[in-house]
Amino acid sequence: MDDDLLELRRMLEAAERVVVFTGAGISTESGIPDFRSPGGVWTRMKPIYFQEFVASESARVESWRRKFESDPVMRAAAPNRGHRAVAALVDRGKVSHVVTQNIDGLHQASGIPDHQVIELHGNATYAHCLDCQKRFELDAIRPVFEATLKPPRCDECGGLVKSATVSFGQPMPPAAMIRAEEAILACDLCLVAGSSLVVYPAAGFPELAKRQGAVLAIVNREPTDMDPIADLVLHREIGATLGEVVGNN
């Protein structure tokens, strides 16, 4: 094991209360494209902002078309070696929480209890009404949408129905933000895995960890904006790196 991996293993052994902060890069080895790598989602299409979704029926149709187009890949995805390494650290009582920007549910699928996964950008596995928050299952929405090409509306209150993810311009989920801040303020090591760290307020959490005195380690293929303030930076593949350091397969 080379020095970088030994250093990350040493940091993990010395830490008592780790927060793992993840982005789309931990799920690419499960077949889910990230956003800003070559070929990533935002290199192929423009984000639909929340205000557009609310204001324009055609934006809602496009948003739902994209959703159902990408859904098979997300449903087929299984946790990979990187997810399993994080789950092993949670299992050992080393990690208090995983703060994730991901919407794929793969941390929970890897066996991490729901209460230890904090989803900053919501979850793509269901939808809800923007007014009364009623929950809608995607399997119920899909056939009607595909038959009518009409975006779904709430059958309770007539409100707009949207995937339970947080779009650009949409308010962040208050409870998740509070829980993430509490976890970050209490951690002694923040391990970032698979994020370009360019989207705020989420990217503010690794910064906050460093500011409050925690060690900051980053595992990411490309350089990130926060490399200069990190205590350790590994520009490597997450699955192999975390799998080897944590010693899981």
Which residues have a catalytic role annotated? 121
**Contacts for 29 with CB less than 8 Å, ≥ 6 apart:** 80, 81, 82, 237, 238, 239
Select the residue interacting with ligand APR from 23, 105, 151, 152 (CB under 6 A): 23
Selected range binding ligand APR among 13-21, 57-65, 142-150, 219-227, rule: CB under 6 A? 219-227
Q: Which residues pair with 191 in a beta bridge?
A: 20, 217
36 binds ligand APR (CB under 6 A): yes
- What's the angle, vertex CA 89, arms to CA 88 and CA 90, rounded to 5? 90
40 binds ligand APR (CB under 6 A): yes
63 binds ligand APR (CB under 6 A): no
104 binds ligand APR (CB under 6 A): no
Select the residue interacting with ligand APR from 12, 15, 21, 25 (CB under 6 A): 25
Question: Which residues within the stretch 123-142 sit at the binding site for Zn ion (CB under 5 A)?
Answer: 129, 131-132, 134
Nearest distance from C-beta of residue 54 to Zn ion, angstroms: 14
Token pair of 172, please?
A: 């962040």
The span from the CA of 67 to the CA of 127, in Å, is 11
The span from the CA of 217 to the CA of 220, in Å, is 10
Alpha-helical (H) ranges within 133-216 are: 138-148, 174-186, 204-211
Considering CB distances under 5 to 8 angstroms, the limit depending on partner class, which of Zn ion, ligand APR, none binds residue 140?
none
DSSP state of 116: G
Nearest distance from C-beta of residue 35 to ligand APR, angstroms: 3
Comparing C-alpha atoms, which of 249, 197, 187, 242 is closest to residue 223? 197
Select the residue interacting with ligand APR from 74, 237, 245, 246 (CB under 6 A): 237
Select the residue interacting with Zn ion from 154, 203, 214, 217 (CB under 5 A): 154
* CB-nearer residue toward ligand APR: 174 or 213: 174
159 binds Zn ion (CB under 5 A): yes
Question: Which residues within the stretch 109-128 sit at the binding site for ligand APR (CB under 6 A)?
Answer: 121
**Which stretches of the chain bind ligand APR, using CB under 6 A?**
23-25, 28-29, 34-37, 40, 101, 121, 194-196, 199, 220-222, 237-238
